[in-house]
């Protein structure tokens, strides 16, 4: 009998985005992104696939989105980390708010409110820094693919496109900074839109790890971050089992592989 191929698992591990800042607040950073396929975050080199064993539990956690700032002096919170086995991606940084203006570090960094301080940095090989401080709109959050505000003042940094599922999907875009006048775009890959006068920032997209948009003026609240995701690709000779507490699906075999997409929870997975 011919033995099955080795259980070599490619991965995409995306953490959750941070929450945007309050009152013309900074856009939140996207969740950190680590990948063995197509592209990884922060302009880094592709990671190495994992060599795993059958009938062995591997811990998995999907990070939940950060919360937007809830009032003066309250920054957005960081998104939760996403974990698979030995791989951890850091949650995105929360955006700075009125009275507490400097964004938080994270997988990608949260933007500062208005002209305060220096841009905050992201995590190496996972995401990028927030945009430089700017008066109006406030700085855009960093994305997995570029620094915040790269495509225009206050705009969220773009994420990266990964084809681990067999189709190209953009993940981990930063949130747009809050403004007095016009809505500010989030980065591709689920970044939330920055709010304007009387209009709230929007949330980052769930299971893409997008950062939340900063709120407009005091009548516009910020957006929360989008949750993370873990996607695994492995030879189609194997079947994955999702343990208690983990929400996931396994695709049909295609091109010699199956893919498991895990969208929520904390628990173990294993293969047979």
Could you tell me the residue ranges of all domains in the chain? 1-272
Per-residue model confidence (pLDDT) at position 217:
87
pLDDT digits (tens, 9 = 90+) for 99-111: 999 999 999 999 9
Instruction: Give Cα 272 distance to the centre of its chain.
Output: 30
Q: Is the pLDDT of residue 149 over 60?
A: yes
Average pLDDT over the chain reads: 97
Per-residue model confidence (pLDDT) at position 2:
63
pTM of the prediction? 0.97
Q: 151: phi > 0 → left, psi -120 to 50 → alpha, else beta; which?
A: alpha
Q: Is the pLDDT of residue 225 over 80?
A: yes
Angle, CA 173 vertex, CA 111 and CA 83 arms, to 5°: 100
Angle, CA 81 vertex, CA 97 and CA 9 arms, to 5°: 145
Per-residue model confidence (pLDDT) at position 220:
83
Q: Is the pLDDT of residue 1 over 60?
A: no
Q: Is the pLDDT of residue 226 over 60?
A: yes
Per-residue model confidence (pLDDT) at position 58:
98
Confidence label for 31 from pLDDT (cuts 50, 70 and 90): very high
DSSP 51: E
């Amino acid at each position: 009998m011919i033995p099955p191929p080795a259980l070599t698992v490619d991965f995409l591990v995306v953490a959750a985005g941070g929450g945007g800042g309050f009152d013309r607040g900074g856009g939140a950073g996207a969740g950190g992104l680590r990948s063995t396929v197509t592209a990884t975050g922060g302009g880094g080199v592709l990671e190495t696939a994992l060599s795993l064993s059958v009938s062995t539990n591997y811990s998995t956690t999907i990070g939940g989105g950060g919360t937007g700032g809830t009032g003066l002096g309250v920054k957005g919170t960081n998104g939760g980390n996403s974990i698979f086995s030995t791989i951890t991606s850091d949650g995105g940084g929360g955006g700075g708010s009125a009275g507490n203006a400097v964004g938080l570090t994270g997988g990608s960094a949260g933007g500062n409110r208005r002209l305060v301080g220096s841009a905050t940095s992201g995590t190496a090989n996972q995401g990028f820094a927030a945009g430089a401080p700017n008066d109006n709109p406030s700085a855009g959050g960093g994305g997995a693919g570029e620094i915040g505000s790269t495509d225009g003042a206050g705009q969220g940094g773009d994420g990266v496109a990964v084809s681990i599922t067999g189709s190209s999907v953009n993940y981990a875009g930063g949130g747009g900074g809050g403004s007095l006048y016009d809505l500010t775009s989030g980065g591709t890959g689920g970044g939330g839109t920055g709010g304007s006068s009387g209009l709230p920032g929007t949330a980052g997209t769930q299971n893409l790890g997008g950062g939340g948009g900063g709120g407009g003026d005091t009548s516009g609240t910020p957006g929360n971050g989008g949750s993370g995701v873990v996607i695994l690709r492995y030879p189609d000779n194997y079947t994955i089992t999702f343990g208690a507490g983990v929400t996931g699906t396994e695709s049909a075999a295609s091109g010699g592989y199956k893919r498991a997409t895990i969208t929520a929870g904390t628990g173990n997975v294993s293969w047979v």
